[in-house]
Structures are given as C-alpha cells and as structure tokens.
Structure 1
C-alpha cells in the first residue's frame, strides 16, 4: 500500500493506487459528498496526476487503470487542526494549541472511475467512493428466512463471503433491549441485499452509519458516541467579517415541524381471529394540533406457522405491536425539531454527537446528533494553480442535527408488491400428504434454490377454500408433488397462501381432454393407491347425466342418460337412462320416518315429493274389500270371534290413515307418511325373484288383497303352520282340495270334525274301500231312520218299513273285526319361539 506523506488536508491511500519511482501518481484535490444516517454515502474524490520532468502524461495514463481501481478499497484522510490557540502562562490545557488534532478516516470502495480531462502536464480523474455496504446493492436475491429475528437475518447476510467488512451492533432500545423477536417467515423478494436489509431495518427501528470501514447498526440514542476532543463541543460564531482560525459553525437555523403524535396499528391473526389486535402509542407534543393520528396496518402477528406449528407458543402481540408502532411514531416525531447549519468543520462525522456552544438562543446550546453531513473540501494545489494565482483552500460542511436524546428512525419503505407464484407441495419423503390441523401445507417455490423439497422448505401455508365454516365447508387438500399457485394477502411477500392448483405434465386433468370437455366435477385418488372416487356432471348435448362413483366395490349412483365413465379415459358406451344405484358390496337404504318407492310418475316435479294420491286410493279400495269379505265370511260362520279378520282390517285402516297423513299444519306442511312405514307403489306390477329363499315377516298382521286372483305355485310343497285357527272362505264358486298323488288326510286331533252341505255329500272310492271307523259308535241316519253301531251291537230303527233285498241272508256265529285307529300326536308350543304379536 502506498500512503503518501504530505501536509495537505486531504490524503488518500490504498493498495490499488498506482505508484511511480516510489512515489504517488495521484494527488487528491477535492472531496465532496453527502452522508446520512441510515443511507449509503457517496463521495466524489477529484485527483490529479503528479507533475515531474521525468514523468510524462502518457505514462500517467498507462499507470492509472480504471479496471484495477474499481472495487478496491480507498482510504480518505481528512486532517483537522483541533482547537485552541497558544496562550503563554495559562494553567492546565488552557492556552494549549491544536487540542484534539487528528484525521478523520473515510474508508470505502471505488465504485466508479472517470477521466475528466488532461493537459500537457496532468491527467484529471474523479473517483466515486461508496461504503462497503454498497456492495449489497449490486445483487438481486430471492430467498426465505424462517424463525429468525432481524438481527439474526442481518448477521447471516453480512457474514457471507461477498461482504468482507466488519460490522458492530449497538442495540439497546427500550422496547426489545437488543433482543429482537423471531419472525416465522420473512422473504427477500427479488431485492438486493441492501434493499432487503434497509427495508427490514426501518421496520424494526434499526439504522446505520459507517465508522471508517466498519458498519455500525444502531437503534437508540445510546448507540451514538461523542466526537473526540476537537469536536466534542463546537462553537457558533455568526459571520461578522472577522477572521476566526478555530473551526466553528457560522450558520445555524432551528426548525420546528408539526408531526403526528399518535400511531395506531391493526393486525390479524387467524389463530386468534376474534381478538382485538390493535395497538396505539400516544406521544403527542405540547404544540397545538400535535395529536394527529397515523393509522396503519401492522405486521406483528405470528399465526403459529413455523416449525413447531400449532403446538408452538404464540408471540407477545401487545408488546411487539407497541414497539413497532413506536418505531413508526419516532420516525415522524424525530423530524419535529431539526437544526440545519454550515461551517468549516472538516472532522464533523455523521452518527456522532457534539455539544453546541455560544449560540445566542440559550435553548439551542445543547447536545446534538449529527444526522447528515455534506462536505466540500479542496486541497491547496500549487501545481494546478494558474501562473501567478494564489493557492486556494476551501472547506464547507453543511449538516443536519437533531437533539441527541431523541430517537432517530427512518420512515418505512414500502415492500414491492408480490404477484402470484408457482410452487410445489412438499413434505417428508415418506409421506403422500403433509397437513396440519388448519389444513395448511408446506411448499417449495419454483424459484427457491436453497430449499430441500421437504417440510422445512416453507412455513405452514393456509389453503384457500371456496366455502369454509365452523366444522363445515369444502376441503380439497393439496398433496405432495402437486403444482399450486401461491398468492399473497395484501400483495405482501411475507403473507403467502395457496390459492389454486394447476395442471402440468405430472398433474393432469381428472378426465382426458379435449375429448371429455362435457365433463365437470371432482375425481379424487386413493392415498398411496390407484382407486378413485368421483362426482361428475356430464353435459353432453341430449345425454346429460350425473354420477357419484367409487372404485371400491364398483359402487355408483347414476342419474340421467347413463353413459359409463371409465376413470381418466372418461365417457364410454351408453348403458341406459334413468337412475342406477349399484355396488358389488352390500347396499343399505335407510329412512327413519318412512319411505315411498313408486313408479307413479310426477312430471316436472311440481307435486309434493310424497304426493301419492293413486297409492292411497288403491290402498283404501283394498282395505274396503278386505273389510267386506271379512264381514261376509263371518256371516257365513267361516270366521268366529277371536279368529277373524277384524284385527287385520283395523290395522290396515290405521296404516292407510298414517300413509295418507293427517291435517296439514305450518309445522308439518307435508303430512304424508305420518309414521315410519315403507310404501311400495307401482303403476303396473311388482315382480320379485330370489335365487334362494324369500321371507316376509310382520310383527302383527300380514294382509294380502287382490282385485282378481291370488295364485300360488310351489315347486315342492305348500306348507302352513298356524298357531290359532285356519279359516278359508269361498263365497261363490266353491272350494276344491285335490291331491293328484298321495293321500288326502284331514284330522281334528283334539276335537270334533264337521262336514256339512246344503245338498248332497258324496264319498267315493273309485278303486278301493270306503272305511268308516270309530272308537265308540257310528250313527247313520236319514228321515228318522237310523243305524247305530257300537260295541254292544248294531241297532236299526225306522218309523217306517225295513226292506232287505238280498240273494242270501246268513246268520253264522258271532264275530268281531277291529280296524286300527290313527294315533293323535300331541305337542306343546314354546312361547319363547313365537314371533311377537306386538311391540
């Protein structure tokens, strides 16, 4: 490094500065620039090549290379004399000259080199010098910071290899006392590192200045040190025309400004959706109308979206919100009292404090923080002066001050608006889905080159739903690997949510297109499997249908023009029209208050859904027929008390009344089917078939009514077992009981048997005998004549004559012949096996 020794005010040094014959090639002539708290400075250093009889201009041009200088460090030294004039005989330091004399160092990098001209003796250049932090403006980055505070984010960026400079943290503001809270998610959104950090620092009340090559981060008045002895106190001297050798302030104006005095913020946290998250800070000054309020949207809620998710601890909304509101209010209030001045102050530095003295306004003599400085310093330049001209020197410093005990803050920078972006749903490698209790998912943005495509790639993101209520709504959870669209609340890059799902080559539509463009609906897919469920509306012209299907057991409900929809292939062959409800597994149809299944049409669905006038009419006619025939059977003694159809007809009437329904009321506008009956009605007929058995069971009565015939055909036997009586009544055409093969056997096993006819009774055996056998007696009679046969003998009796016509009449000895009598079986009914007669 070449470090020239010279007596001029300005000096420069740096590894990249060219040398010739052991000496410098460039000499500083003028330094100008502005430096402000929280902003990057820019200084312009004007330099000129040295003059020598052996060093030519063309040599200087070859030695000064912009490519070599740009990006290299340059140290600028500004020499100042200190204060004090020698006065002999004074005690202590009083009367000592040049107290605090030294140099102010500005160390930055050369960002621009420009050759501004040349003559026969010199080449003139301008070097633009910016702080090391300026390097952070050169990049553009897009990345996510999770579960980090503003300080941690700052350190992680500044420790990167692109920023080889030191930084110092002087943090201790009352709100956080240097310990700033972590944020679940902060995104650097297509910004340079400087734009991102500057925006973040302003939001949290941090700002910076450069101390040489060191970046100093501050957040409170206590972060600022005082100038050294030369500038710890600076005198004000009004310009009166007399010479004052000591550096001083020659112009100073104090200004008051009316600012906001109240700052109110509001925010929203969907994990505390009904909470009042508003905060307000009131620090109005005593000036009139100083209580104006700024109302804004805060960003201090943290909806438990980080690694711990819903099991994490919520942040302190009140404290953090008030601190952020205080930052915004301080950014307004710090401008309420400012001082602007001018003086020949070579060593006055932004970010340091000094005490003002000798100002005619007593209240102005106080401690101030230097908020900004603009300097213009020109070196004594004998070589560049025109012949005969006097050496010129100039130092002008303009500055802005604020009271040193006042918090300085920069106003917020607006975030750039963030449009919708593409991302992929991610999670652990062994999971098909990864969601939490709020149906949130993790995503990997397409632009994210740092994420690992796992559950750590983002925070939990909410998924937009077309309908959401408390325990009800619509939900379609994104699955790992699906492409989604991420949008942003208020276009804020720190507030992402999943707004849509998109088609790509790995996430194709549920039905192949464009061939199935008439299909609309939803098709899901089994987790870790290939089976699917679908809800689809088919709007094919003239053949509309709706299907609800599940691949499990080939279960489906089809309404309309039934066209098979085969998975992703879509529409296939037509299968019919109407309704199909089918499954390869079990099916259950259950209705707690009754059910009507009917083929009685209701065109246009204009009638009430339970309208069944025809059905009620048919049931009423059937019940009336039942009653009439039952009464007729009782009149003919075919039915007796306790063994008749009275109970059945009464039950039919009650059932019909319930099916018809009772009076219509506001509470029951559709009174049909007043109890849980099942009603089957057909406009034509019923056909039931079973591959095995059919069983009809009733707890009470079972009635069958037909307008014409009851026809029963059995492939094997017709068997009936009745606990009580069996009564069969034929009103007109008689009754036939015929066995084409086998016996016809009738028994009354515990009582008598009666056979009666209005006309003849004929007993015939066409190829055998007629045997009349009785254990006690046989009595045959007609018109008063009789034959009585018993064990004692045979008795004939008649009121008239007895005629015997025979070819032979014999009277052998006494004889006896007994025919076997059938054994009458006995059995006891177990009442526990009876089907109950009532509930």
Structure 2
C-alpha cells in the first residue's frame, strides 16, 4: 500500500472520535506495540465469581509487532458512553494473536483477563488449620499481592461472624483459584471485579455476601425501550422472566465426631416454588460422615449452611434475562428497570447482574470497514471467545439446585460465539449486550460444578491411598530424646503429606526438616484407625514422630483423612544386590558372588548385626535377607510385633517363628531380659536366629518374678493318658490320690500315737478344735485339703463357679469341671519334686505343716539340727512294726547327749530292760530332794536328805571283797540351773488390705489363748499395745467399728 494511502487509512481509524480506544494504565507507561493498535471490535463475558474474558480485535499498519512484549501487560479499553463520558474496562493481556495481514494492514487479537486469572496458573497442595475463612483467603491470595488487589465488602464481616473456624482445610492438587472459589462457595460468598486506579493492574476483586450492598450501575434506573436505531440513550431493549421448579426445603445432616452425635439442620423456601399443584420437593444431603474440618459442632451451624443452599436454589429459580445497549453494565452491580413489562412482578425490577456478555464494534467509516473486510475478512469471524463459559444455570437442572456439571447441549452460553442478536445489534449500534440477573431480594449464592453435579461443597477427590510423615509439635520429623510420641487426647497424630507445598508463599509455613517451623498449623491432626475400638477396649497403636504412615480418605474427601497403616522406608546395611547374579552386598557395599555379607556373619547369640539403615528411614525389625546358616539363619520366618523404648534402645516384642519344624513363640521385654518362650527354644538377637536351647516352655527373667493366683495355683507334671489327651485345666486327680494317702497315713499314725500315749497328729484330729481347721470349719487339715482338691464347679458361668467353690461343692455332673474350692497352691510331681536353695529354705505354715511319705523321710545336715516347739514334741517309732535293729535311735556321735525337762518331769520307760551304761566313765544320778530306786516286788533304796534307806520284804545280801565304813561326811553335787519360762510379748501393726498402709486410730480387740482380752486404739503408726503372757500364745485380732 502506498504510503499516502497508509497515512489516509491510519487517519480514518485513529482513536480520535472513536467509540473505543486503548490505553495503557499509568501515565508514564508506554508500549510501542500497543500504541500501534486500533480497536476494530471486542467481545467480553463476565459473571459473578467467574474471571471475565475480553477479546479485542485490533488493526495495525505493522505486521511485525512484537507479540511477546504485550504479554502480561495491563491494558484498558475506554468506551465513550451515551452522555459523552467514558467508561473503563481493565485487564491483563493473557494472549496475543496475529490474525493475518494484507497490503500493509494487519489484524491482531488480544485476550484480556482479570488478575485473579493468575491464580488459575498456580497449583498447590497445602493444609490450613485452626483458621478463619477470611484468614485462609488472605493467605491464598497473598502470593499475588504485587499484581492484584482485593477487598471484602463492608457486610462480609458480620456475615462471617457465625461461620465456624476451620479445624483444618486442605488444598489438594488444586489451583489457587479453584481452592479460592471452593472456599467462597462453601461459605456462600461471591466476588466481582471493579475498576480501581490505585490497584496494580487497574482493577480489584471485591468479595461480598449481600446483593443490596453492591454498587448500582451509573445509569440506574435504566429505561426499558424497544430496539430502535433512533434511540440516543442506552436502554434495556428486551426483558424476560424465567421461573422453574425448585426445592421447597433443604435438610442437611452431619456426624459430630467429638460429640459422637448426629447433627441436623434444615431451611425452608422463602418464596413460592410453583403452582398449587406443584409437587413438594425436598433435598437431603449428608455433609461428611466423619468430617471435622468445617467445624460443624451444633444444629445451628448446619441450619446456617442449609440456608445458604436454599438461597442458592432460590436465586436461580427466578431469573431475569435481557438484552440492552447499556455500556456500563458490570456483573455484580445493581440495576433497576423503569417502564419494564409487568412480568408478574409487583414493582419495577430491582436486579443484581449475574452474567453479562458484551459485543462492541468500533464506529469506523463504512467504506473503511468494508475495505478492511475485503482485505482481512469479516470481523465477525474473529469476535469469538477462547473457550466456552461453564454454566450452572442450564435448563436440565435437577430440582433447581444440583445441575449437571456438563451443562445442556442447548445452552447457548456454552458456545464460543457471542449471541447472534447481540452481534447484529452491535453492528448497527456499535454496542449491545445480553445479561442474566437475579432479584435483589434473593441473595446470590455460588455453586460449583462437580463430578456428581453442582454443589455448595464440591471438593477435589483424593483417590487411592497416600503416604505421609508423622511430625512433632513444631513440624519436626525427628524425635527430641524420649519425646517420640505426639498426640492429642483422642489419639490423633500430626502428619505432613509428601504433596504439601514446601514454601510459605501461599498457605501456612511448611517445615521440611527437623528444625522449628514458623507455624505448626501447616500440619494436621489425623485419626488413627485401629483393628478394634470400643469403650475402654480395643487395639492401641500410635505412630511415632518420623514414621511414614498410609492414609486413606473417607468418601474420597481430602478433608477426611484416616491413618490405616504404616510403611517401612529404610534400607538395611546388608542384603541382595538387584543384579542378575544375585550377588550379596558386604559391609563396604561391594558385591561378591555367592558369599554371605560380612555384616550378617557378625551376629552372635547375644549380639545382633546388620540392624542399621544405610539411608534415613525405618527398616523392618525382622527380614529375610540372610537365610544362610553362616548369617542370620532367617528365611523371613519371623513375624509379630515389636515396640521401642522412648529415647532409648529397649524394646518389647511378640515374635512368631515359623521356621520349618522349629515353631516358636516369644514374648520378650528387654528390661531384665524377661521372656516367655514356647516351642523350639533358641537364642534370638533381633533378626539373628541363634543356637538351640531346648524344647517346651521357658519363663525367665534376670529380675524379680512372681506367680499369683487369686483362686488357686496348680503346678503338675501329670498329664493325660499317653501325654496326648488334654485334661481339664483344673484336673488334679493324681494329687487327690496322694492327698488321700496322706489322710490315711495320718489317721493310722495318729491313732497309734494315742494308743502309745504320745502327741497325736493335729493334721488328723484338728488344729484349734477337734475335726476343724482354718481351711474348713468342719474338717481337720488333712481331710480339709483332700476335700478342697476334690472340688467341682460349674463350667458355664464364672459367677456360678465362684458360688460352687464357696459352697465347697465336690458333686460331679454334666457341665462340672474340677477346681479347688479354696485358694491353695497345689504341686504334684510325677517323677519327683526337688526343692533346692543355695542359702536358706524356709517352710512356714499358719496352722499345720506335715511332711508325709509312704516310705522314708531323711534329714541330712552338715551342721546343727534344731527342733523347737511351743508346746509338745511327740516321737513315736515302731507304731506299725518294729525295726529289726532299733525302734527309736538317738545317737550323739560325739559330744554330749543332753535330755532335760526344765519345768516338769522327765520319764524314761521301757517294757523290757532299761540299760544305762557308761563305757569310759561314771553314771551319776542327782536330785535336789530324793532319789528312789524300786522294784515292783517292793524292794527299794531311797536317798533323801543325808539318809540312805534300804527297804525290802525279803533279805538284804551284800557281796564285797572288802567292806569299809567311814565316818559321817557332807558332799554337795552340782545341779543344773533351769531358766524361767520364756515370756510372750508382742505388738502388732494394723494395715489396710488394699494398699498395705497402716491404719491409725483404729479400735481393736486382742483375744489370747488363756481367755484374756485387750482393747484399745492404734497409734499414728497403726500399732497396738503389747500383748504379754508367760509363754507363746495364739492371738485373734478383731477390728471394732461404732454402730449407729
């Protein structure tokens, strides 16, 4: 094109006196490429809570403009209004297209978006915890502060006053815009774009909740006027009302996890939903069965959200659709229409604009426009949108609330072309629009399209399972000493997902290392699933700080995670290299074909090996990487459960060993090496299976051990026939037979003792009373023990069994099982019972102690035998048959044999001869008063005072070789000095049976064998006063209580 023609064309399309022109915001900002553009036409779609898309088709005399220089630049489209003033529409250039050129004239198309579009390009995964909705919004938008500007409308603070704090809120694989939109939708908030010269890009985002609080269009009220090319003022040219069936009531329910109760809320429609014959449709929804993230804690809260859902339905149930030439219309602003058709309304329409679709064509000279079209093609072909507009107002809505996510095939808003009516009007008038609006008294509430329809609470789904790391109070992944566990009172633990953003630009600060985090709300509490959970019962397992856990999501809801397991993520310092040859890896990490790793061969019975991790993480307690006999001898045969001491190396474990023909179970606590081993007994050092130790059962500890049975204890080496039959647990048949023998033997020997006038056996005749014992008031000790061992109790109910034992039942019958009737310890050894003590062996009984044998009892001592008795000692030998050598033999191999009766008579009697002889020395008889030797026939010798008297009914015969009578003399013979009887003196401490603590100031009565009683009150230490007597006595202590 000649330069003269170019200049003429440029003058004709200059921005002066044109309806539309471009301007770069900022007085000092210039862009050569933008300055070379002139507006030919434009289209724009905008909607409440949706980023607008404006496409401007421009002309230029240059076909070589630098497209990249215009990207991300702010740009303002200035429109001349009907009154001569101007209006502005500002946006960010998202895309620039060169549409072709011819003869020196080029056509370009610019796509403008609001600054919030930037948030659609940034995806994050992050967690917010214990934050308000407004706080979360601020943090989500914070990364865009340099480009964007936003504000809350004045009414929002009051609207959110009843909104609960978000316990936690998750952004998962969502763009910041999607998360921002979801958050606002859940709380019933909307947003719009308005011009703001102070904003970085010339416009700002305003978040609002009330229709009537939004600004009115500058031309409102707007006159309704039919389409006419002669009309000079902007007007609404077409207006229709669309109504549809909607829900009459919304019911919501949710499960409150903390309160363990069902919450419910409902909201009824405020406006009529149809004619008198219209069906009543109610909508029910469940808002997360276990969701704690939204802070639902009361029915009132659910009523609030039910109300929001009802308002979302009602605002879309009655919609105004129209066409106009009003160039100032903006989505989210209010208008009133004068002179509008009645349309069933009682007053002039007062509306909030929901969506607006603009079409503008610049007022170029007709000849110039025709010449351009001839050169570059029809402008209408380029006045199209980049993508369809997602619709949530399609005609196939379900109940007016839950429309399909895909919209309707007949929904024109899903087309990329502007409405034909608007395009035709713009060609004539230069500008036209189409719009939809809601009534001002029906609050506009957003909805989001989801896979199952448009919802107020649409969320991204978290499919499958995820892994996460358990963290501490400040987000640390390594425990601090013994502080390995961090949980709340319900057993929840904090975790950080691997997909969480590791910077603090958007959400809460993250912590990826072991140090302190700026804000621990970047991690979240998660419930831990247990195999069984009930009131004070079930399994209990809590993962510790640094462990990797497996997480699933209830209903695939990203805000309802549950820990379902844990993962090992370490790498041991031995094993099989992933090579075709299967080479082993030694300690230095090099491979050697066919050789066992050195780290495995270092294990011994008492020391493990190869338990470290070459990489940070956690390797399993037992593994099968060393099955060779020269290594750990473990072909992955160990399974079970192992814990670890907080901050230490101690552990407890339950191990099942399934090695072939070497089955074994071990319950092991490392404290004092306390173990219960069953089956094939071996040494075990962590993963190492050591040497053989035996078979059977072993209960061992290096510390203190106790075995207690409140109803009795049975230890027996007797078992069923052939050792294969399982007898009842309490079966004591062999022990009962032995006790029967003891009873019979005791009866025989006790009767013999009575016959021979010696002390009878208290075990047979009774201890305190005849035929009574402390165990049984009606049976002597032997009979009582035999009866106790013969007990039979009910086997179907524990309480019935207790009752049978209390009644001392020995009756057999169906359903009866053997069980001792009293709390006794019964030991029965088939092959023998050995009691060996390296130092002391004490046998103590409160009533009687009996050593009985069908054969002999031997007492062998290397030192002194001491037998002391508080009363009598009876020794009876030969009661059944006499021994061939002696009946009772008491011999002192050396030293003296001393018999004394210190406080009564000493009698030595024999049926046959009584021999007293001294082999080497003398036999002496001495008495303080008298010695008399006599025969049954009457002969006697009496030594009394200083006299010797001989008496006999017959003759006295003297035989002597020599007889000598000396004069009188006085000689004294030393007599033994006998001590007084040992006095009895004892005081007692009264203690509680529950905790063994002394009971001060307790009234008591002490009764002694001789009938004396002592009453008193215990002192501050719980002690009684002394009970005194001349000898040992049994005492009975009674506790006395005041009766009302």
TM-score range for the pair, normalised by the shorter chain length: 0.7 to 0.9
2:741 alignment counterpart:
621
Cα distance in 1 between the residues matched to 2:137 and 2:734: 83
1:86 alignment counterpart:
none
1:61 alignment counterpart:
63
Cα distance in 1 between the residues matched to 2:826 and 2:1034: 23
Which moves more between the two structures, 364-373 or 807-816? 807-816
Q: State yes or no: 1:418 paired with 2:418.
A: no
Kept after mapping to 2: 8 A contact 1:300/1:320? no
The CA deviation at 1:343 is 3.3
Alignment of 1:175-254 (within 5 A): 176=159, 180-212=163-195, 213-229=203-219, 231-237=220-226, 243-254=230-241
- Residues 694-739 of structure 1 deviation map (CA, whole Å, 9 limit, x = unaligned): 1111111111210000110111111111121111111222111111
The CA deviation at 1:175 is 7.2
Alignment of 1:126-137 (within 5 A): 126-137=109-120
In structure 2, do the counterparts of structure 1 residues 328 and 810 end up closer, same or farther at CA, with 3 Å as the change threshold?
same
Q: State yes or no: 1:259 paired with 2:233.
A: no
1:713 alignment counterpart:
860
Which moves more between the two structures, 754-763 or 828-837? 828-837
1:576 alignment counterpart:
694
**Matched position secondary structure for 1:380:** coil
Kept after mapping to 1: 8 A contact 2:129/2:522? no
Alignment of 1:46-195 (within 5 A): 46-50=57-61, 60-62=62-64, 64-82=65-83, 101-161=84-144, 164-172=147-155, 176=159, 180-195=163-178
1:337 alignment counterpart:
318
Kept after mapping to 2: 8 A contact 1:353/1:370? yes
1:93 alignment counterpart:
none
Cα distance in 2 between the residues matched to 1:723 and 1:821: 25
Kept after mapping to 2: 8 A contact 1:236/1:357? no
Q: State yes or no: 1:759 paired with 2:759.
A: no
Q: State yes or no: 1:632 paired with 2:632.
A: no
- Residues 410-432 of structure 1 deviation map (CA, whole Å, 9 limit, x = unaligned): 21452111243332222256443
Cα distance in 1 between the residues matched to 2:525 and 2:891: 85
Cα distance in 1 between the residues matched to 2:947 and 2:142: 138
1:90 alignment counterpart:
none
Counterpart of 2:977 (choices 819, 823, 827) is 823
The CA deviation at 1:13 is 2.0
| Structure 1, unpaired ranges of 5+ | 51-59, 83-100, 307-313
Q: State yes or no: 1:409 paired with 2:445.
A: yes
Q: State yes or no: 1:660 paired with 2:790.
A: yes
Alignment of 1:775-814 (within 5 A): 775-781=929-935, 783-791=937-945, 793-814=947-968
**Matched position secondary structure for 1:176:** helix
In structure 2, do the counterparts of structure 1 residues 793 and 26 end up closer, same or farther at CA, with 3 Å as the change threshold?
closer
In structure 2, do the counterparts of structure 1 residues 271 and 339 end up closer, same or farther at CA, with 3 Å as the change threshold?
same
In structure 2, do the counterparts of structure 1 residues 512 and 300 end up closer, same or farther at CA, with 3 Å as the change threshold?
closer
1:320 alignment counterpart:
301
Kept after mapping to 1: 8 A contact 2:984/2:1033? no
**Matched position secondary structure for 1:278:** strand
1:522 alignment counterpart:
641
Counterpart of 1:452 (choices 498, 511, 522) is 511
Which moves more between the two structures, 183-192 or 279-288? 279-288
2:603 alignment counterpart:
none
Kept after mapping to 1: 8 A contact 2:229/2:428? no
Kept after mapping to 2: 8 A contact 1:253/1:339? yes
The CA deviation at 1:611 is 1.0
Which moves more between the two structures, 343-352 or 681-690? 343-352
The CA deviation at 1:512 is 4.2
Cα distance in 1 between the residues matched to 2:753 and 2:942: 35
- TM-score scaled by length of structure 1: 0.87
Kept after mapping to 2: 8 A contact 1:235/1:249? yes
Kept after mapping to 2: 8 A contact 1:70/1:113? yes
The CA deviation at 1:544 is 1.8
In structure 2, do the counterparts of structure 1 residues 796 and 105 end up closer, same or farther at CA, with 3 Å as the change threshold?
same
Kept after mapping to 2: 8 A contact 1:423/1:483? yes
Cα distance in 2 between the residues matched to 1:802 and 1:128: 161
Kept after mapping to 2: 8 A contact 1:252/1:341? yes
1:427 alignment counterpart:
472
The CA deviation at 1:671 is 5.5
1:470 alignment counterpart:
535
Kept after mapping to 2: 8 A contact 1:525/1:531? yes
The CA deviation at 1:813 is 4.2
The CA deviation at 1:786 is 3.8
2:412 alignment counterpart:
none
Alignment of 1:557-596 (within 5 A): 557-566=676-685, 568-596=686-714
In structure 2, do the counterparts of structure 1 residues 4 and 523 end up closer, same or farther at CA, with 3 Å as the change threshold?
farther
1:538 alignment counterpart:
657
- TM-score scaled by length of structure 2: 0.71
In structure 2, do the counterparts of structure 1 residues 386 and 770 end up closer, same or farther at CA, with 3 Å as the change threshold?
closer
The CA deviation at 1:319 is 3.9
In structure 2, do the counterparts of structure 1 residues 814 and 491 end up closer, same or farther at CA, with 3 Å as the change threshold?
same
**Matched position secondary structure for 2:785:** helix
Counterpart of 1:32 (choices 28, 36, 43) is 43
Cα distance in 2 between the residues matched to 1:682 and 1:574: 27
1:7 alignment counterpart:
17
In structure 2, do the counterparts of structure 1 residues 835 and 564 end up closer, same or farther at CA, with 3 Å as the change threshold?
farther
| Structure 2, unpaired ranges of 5+ | 1-12, 196-202, 379-426, 450-457, 504-509, 571-616, 627-633, 772-779, 802-815, 987-1030, 1038-1044
Cα distance in 2 between the residues matched to 1:154 and 1:770: 119
Cα distance in 1 between the residues matched to 2:523 and 2:46: 39
The CA deviation at 1:688 is 0.9
In structure 2, do the counterparts of structure 1 residues 376 and 623 end up closer, same or farther at CA, with 3 Å as the change threshold?
same
In structure 2, do the counterparts of structure 1 residues 105 and 301 end up closer, same or farther at CA, with 3 Å as the change threshold?
farther
1:397 alignment counterpart:
433
Cα distance in 1 between the residues matched to 2:136 and 2:372: 58
Kept after mapping to 2: 8 A contact 1:224/1:352? yes
1:553 alignment counterpart:
672
Cα distance in 1 between the residues matched to 2:642 and 2:648: 14
Cα distance in 1 between the residues matched to 2:680 and 2:855: 38
- RMSD of equivalent CA atoms: 3.1
Which moves more between the two structures, 621-630 or 73-82? 73-82
**Matched position secondary structure for 1:340:** strand
Kept after mapping to 2: 8 A contact 1:168/1:216? yes
Q: State yes or no: 1:684 paired with 2:831.
A: yes
Q: Which has the larger radius of gyration?
A: 1
1:377 alignment counterpart:
360
1:741 alignment counterpart:
894
Which moves more between the two structures, 693-702 or 472-481? 472-481
Cα distance in 1 between the residues matched to 2:166 and 2:671: 46
The CA deviation at 1:479 is 2.0
Kept after mapping to 2: 8 A contact 1:185/1:459? yes
Cα distance in 2 between the residues matched to 1:539 and 1:726: 61
2:281 alignment counterpart:
292
Matched length: 793
The CA deviation at 1:798 is 4.4
**Matched position secondary structure for 1:188:** strand
**Matched position secondary structure for 2:537:** coil
